[in-house]
Amino acid sequence: MRKTRLLAALLLFLLLTFPLWGSAYFVGRIFTPALFFGIIALSLSLLAGYGGMVSLAQMTLAGLAGYGYGYLTITLGQPWWIGILAGLAVATLAALVFGLIAVRSTGIYFLMITVALGMVVYALANQNRSIFGGHTGILGIRAPELFGHSLVERTIFYYLCLAIGLTTYGFVRYLAGTPFGLALQALRDDPRRLSTLGYNVALHRVAAFTLSGFLAGIGGLLLVWYNGAISPTTIDLTRLINILVIAVIGGLAYAEGAFLGALVFVLVTNFASSFTQRFNTVIGLTFLAIVLFSPEGLSGIALRLWSLLRRTLLARLAPSRHTGL
């Protein structure tokens, strides 16, 4: 446990000091997007890893938060803090409605319902001009300014995304140990037994979906500030699938996997697109390779490597301890 905490502290130190020694490109174009995409993927990890519900609507919920912020601040000219509240409220309420519709189903049926809901929102955004801006979307979205500095300045935005990413990660890890989180994991393993014990299975699923929508909305706000615009292409089918790919690459069962998968996805996307137009093929091959070698994703590989390293160190230290005795 002490070694694990030491490793976590070292990783946190590297992340906190990264803008000081890392290149501007990696800070602004790699790690910052990985953080807010990781937050959106974390909302899926909460649903799938803890609740056993694989949803493809998480990017839709993130996009709705972006639309809510853009509509209030650009179309209606409201202050940024009202836009933030509106964006989070829209994502959370939409998740509540999605949950009420989808949670009666399980497995592939649940997945397909969330896809259908996402496509309904995509079609609505593509056709409606008064609120969603039609095919063009909402342009010219600006991030809040504090003390004369925009929050999307490279270093400031990195630390903002890092702080929010660590907070949401800590929240999900904490939630996993609460009665609600334990009930959610029991729901994933055996919903019939949980229902027999007197728990309302549907209510827990709706609550989990609503909470995941709030998390996705946070990531959606960071995404729309980073892009400065929101359009239907942000929530099309490809983007919906990308979030699932990110979560699976990192490991659906691990909260850390959301950010690890997002980092790998952004790295592959950026560097593959620089030397080939078929970068989606590269992403697909990367996805297949990781899933074939480790169904638990990169988090599973990291845990096995860490376990192997610990056993090796203990094996080397054992003779010396025996000799000392």
Q: Which of 58, 54, 40 is nearest to 235 (CA)?
A: 58
**d(C-alpha 154, C-alpha 120), whole Å:** 35
User: What integer pLDDT is reported at residue 293 of this predicted model?
Assistant: 73
Q: Catalogue the E-assigned strands of the chain.
A: 145-146, 149-150
Q: What percentage of the chain carries pLDDT values higher than 70?
A: 91
What is the tens place of the pLDDT at every residue in 159-177? Answer: 999 999 999 999 999 998 8
DSSP type of residue 232: G
What is the tens place of the pLDDT at every residue in 269-285? Answer: 887 766 666 666 777 77
* pTM more than 0.75: yes
Q: Which of 105, 136, 110, 125 is nearest to 201 (CA)?
A: 105
User: What integer pLDDT is reported at residue 224 of this predicted model?
Assistant: 95
Do residues 149 and 156 touch, judged by C-beta distance below 8 A?
Answer: yes
User: What integer pLDDT is reported at residue 325 of this predicted model?
Assistant: 45
What is the tens place of the pLDDT at every residue in 211-248? Answer: 999 999 999 999 999 999 999 999 999 899 999 989 98
User: What integer pLDDT is reported at residue 318 of this predicted model?
Assistant: 62
Question: Given a cut of 80, is residue 39 above it in pLDDT?
Answer: yes
**Residue scoring higher pLDDT (314 or 67):** 67
Tokens 């376990």 — which residue?
307
DSSP type of residue 138: B
Using CA atoms, how far residue 310 sits from 2, 3, 6, 34, 74, in Å, is: 12, 9, 14, 29, 54
What is the tens place of the pLDDT at every residue in 106-149? Answer: 888 899 999 999 999 999 999 999 899 999 999 999 989 887 78
- What are the chain's domains? 30-293 (1.10.3470)
Which residues sit opposite 149 in a β-bridge?
146
User: What integer pLDDT is reported at residue 168 of this predicted model?
Assistant: 95
User: What integer pLDDT is reported at residue 149 of this predicted model?
Assistant: 81
User: What integer pLDDT is reported at residue 273 of this predicted model?
Assistant: 65
Mark 142-163 as b/e (b = at least 16 C-beta within 10 Å).
Answer: ebbeeeeeebbeeeebbbbbbe
With both helix axes pointing from N to C terminus, report the angle between 255-275 and 237-250 in degrees, rounded to the nearest 10: 120
Comparing 98-107, 128-137, 302-311, the range with the smallest average pLDDT is: 302-311
Tokens of 124: 């609505």
Using alpha carbons only, give the angle 85, 88, 94 rounded to the nearest 5 degrees.
135
User: What integer pLDDT is reported at residue 35 of this predicted model?
Assistant: 95
DSSP type of residue 131: S
